[in-house]
Amino acid sequence: MLGARHTGQAHRLSTTSTARSQRTKSGSSHRWLRRQRDDVYAQQARTDGYRTRSAYKLVALNEKHRFLRPGGRCIDCGSNPGGWSQVAAELVLSGGTDKAQPDAMHAREGLVVAVDLLPMPPLAGVHFVQGDFRSDDVQRDVVRLLDGLPADVVLSDMAPSLSGIRMADQARSMELCETALYFAQQYLKEGGTFVCKIFMDGGDPSFQQQLRSLFRKVHIEKPMASRKDSAESYLVCLDKQ
């Protein structure tokens, strides 16, 4: 069901989304507006108060694999404008109870650290670091927020701005995946989850091979909210060794 259990949450936007208001009235933006208006996930995002329809991709991945848990510590790479961070915050920050431990009446604290090249409008409880995640300085700021403890989940929905040159775009996308994975290798706890967006069928085979050597389970997912005409899919890597 589309995010029904996420309704009634604190994060609400006006019915006119930021991205929408930023678009100019060119022909392509009219097409984009029409597609958004007619899209069931975009409509649902407005109802549920999510900043992006992409939020439902993470909802679906998590409903299948259950990696976002109350008290969890989550890094969201490529977070702007904040749809995934909203979902992560709802599921890991205090307020919920852990179904695996029903006696734990009070949820543990939880942590969400969001990172993006672009500024992100604030979200309650979410720490935001602005900058290029490939930079050591930016990663250092993220690590500082982890405060000496490892992360439970590293998410990467990072995507380069597309040049239209397929090979170049794929190479830049792979670089972002590899950067996120290298971070996860260092700061994700044993048993933790790594999720990253890839383009083309399953991404670079050697990247997948590397993931399979680092995680006990690796799944390739195409959530319903991911547009059929998009080459994107997600690698969900469970149980870091």
Which residues participate in catalysis according to the annotation? 197
Residue 169 makes contact with ligand SAM by CB under 6 A: no
Contact flags string 180-219 toward ligand SAM, x per CB under 6 A: ----------------------------------------
- Which DSSP letter does residue 143 get? H
Residue 158 makes contact with ligand SAM by CB under 6 A: yes
Cβ 199 to ligand SAM shortest distance, Å: 11
User: 199 - beta bridge partners?
Assistant: 232
Strand 215-221 and strand 73-77: the pairing is: unpaired
Q: What are phi and psi of 91, to 5 degrees?
A: -90, -30
Cβ 102 to ligand SAM shortest distance, Å: 30
Contact 117, 100 (CB under 8 A): no
84-103 positions binding ligand SAM, by CB under 6 A: 84
The tokens of 99 are what? 């179904």
- From candidates 143, 146, 159, 238, binder to ligand SAM by CB under 6 A: 159
CA 88/CA 76 separation, integer angstroms? 8
Q: What are phi and psi of 115, to 5 degrees?
A: -135, 135
The tokens of 115 are what? 């990172």
Cβ 76 to ligand SAM shortest distance, Å: 7
Cβ 161 to ligand SAM shortest distance, Å: 7
- Pick the closer one to ligand SAM by CB: 132 or 221: 132
3-state secondary structure of 63: helix
Residue 133 makes contact with ligand SAM by CB under 6 A: yes
Torsion 44-237-171-78 (CA) sign: positive
- Pick the closer one to ligand SAM by CB: 104 or 171: 171
Binding site for ligand SAM (CB under 6 A): 51-52, 54-55, 78-84, 115-118, 132-134, 157-160, 176
